Amino acid sequence: MPHGLVLASMTDEWGTAMMLSATQPMSLRVMTLCLASMATGLADAASKGMSFIGASRAGTNDIRFAADSLAAAGGDVQFAFLPFEFNPAEPFDNVSDLVRSALPRVKGKLRVTVYLKWYPHDAGGMAEQANFWSAWATNSPTIEQQKIRQGFMSRVAKANDWVAEIRAWAARRGLDDQLGITFVPVLEDTCPVSREGAYLRVINAIIAAQSKDRVASKLRRSCLSNNIFRVNGASLELHGTWSQCKNNLQAGDTWSNDGTRYDGTRNEDGSVYSLDQFISAQRDARIRAINVMYWDASYNGAPYEARNWARRTVNPFTSANKNTEKQTLTKVISAR
């Protein structure tokens, strides 16, 4: 691991003391995030919910239906979204509305997962992401690499501001203990094992910024299946079919079918999965204390182009197919 990493310590949202260690050699496969209490950090009951990727672009009635669904689910629920790509001007407004509507009615805890960044899985996006990890790996960043770091940290700062605002709102209503926040640095990242030090430097920078801003969140790594390594103390999120993901997940982790349809229509690889199969997988995952988030292609908006996120229409629950979409989410989120 590169020398010269700045150590940062803080407490997480449940008061657990944390400190990243930069003393281990780069050859170690697992980076160390020391927790005063691992049990406190990862022991939340398994939640269910939705990966509403384009929520920041959704209309009022779509957000309202999502909030109503979470509130009616029973138990702990989770909601994930990608704010900055879909609505850079007002990345958190919709989800603030969702939290204010759902949290007073949720019967357990509501966890909001913020995906801070995303790169398309095409040649251009993969190259950009490689540059991102290179920028964080070096001890002597170039001017361009400094800009990459600063651009990412500006997102962290805005996300921290939102966390402070929404937590203050919850605290005024005696609901702060029911609201959880998770930051994911890069959605479906391709950070290779050889760049573990870069990933640790990103996590360290987030923790330092949160300590400075006096906010806290949990941290989770979302990665593609051929780039799996763990950060001790941070959970892991994998996407795909349950059979593809389950052997790499453990209690406290998260599974989403993001990228794989479970609605009876054909996937790009020719596979077909039913909603009942998803519900069965969801049950199996939660028995293993693994969190589950349902994804549908409509949650990403349309029309689909690689980089047109901020121009897409995101209206799964008010579109011509709204009845099917509503019935599907209700069935998933109410299933025991």
Distance (Å, rounded) from C-alpha 211 to C-alpha 40? Answer: 19
How much is the pLDDT for 306?
83
Rounded mean pLDDT, 305-314: 94
Q: Is the pLDDT of residue 226 over 70?
A: yes
The sheet with strand 33-35 has its strands ordered as 9-11, 17-20, 33-35
Q: How far apart are CA 9 and CA 31, in angstroms?
A: 16
Per the CB < 8 A criterion, the answer to whether 137 and 2 are in contact is yes
What Å distances lie between residue 77 and 46, 181, 218, 285, CA to CA?
A: 8, 12, 15, 14
Residue 59 resides in a domain: yes
Does 288 fall in a domain? yes
Q: How many domains does the chain have?
A: 1
Please state, rounded to an integer, the average pLDDT across all residues of the chain. Answer: 89
Q: Looking at the predicted structure, is the pLDDT value of residue 245 above 60?
A: yes
pLDDT reported for residue 119: 97
Token pair recorded at residue 250: 């453990």
Domain with 122, as residue range(s), is 9-334
Is residue 2 in some structural domain?
no
Of 127, 146, 151, give the one whose Cα is nearest residue 136: 146
| pLDDT at residue 2, as a whole number | 36
Q: Are 32 and 294 in contact (CB under 8 A)?
A: no
CA angle 72, 252, 165 (to 5 degrees): 60
What's residue 58's pLDDT? 98
pLDDT per position as a tens digit, 253-288: 999 999 999 999 999 999 999 999 999 999 999 999
Cα distance between residue 93 and residue 234, in whole Å: 27
Q: Give the tens place of pLDDT for each residue, 169-181.
A: 999 999 999 999 9
Assess if residue 218 is contained within a domain: yes
The answer to whether residue 257 sits within a structural domain is yes
**Residue-by-residue DSSP string for 6-52:** PP-EEE-TTS-EEEE---S-TT-SSB-EEES-HHHHH-PPPPEEEE-
Question: In this structure, is residue 4 part of a structural domain?
Answer: no
> Which CATH number does the domain housing residue 322 bear?
3.20.20
Q: Based on C-alpha coordinates, what's the Rg of the chain? A: 19
Question: Does some domain include residue 100?
Answer: yes
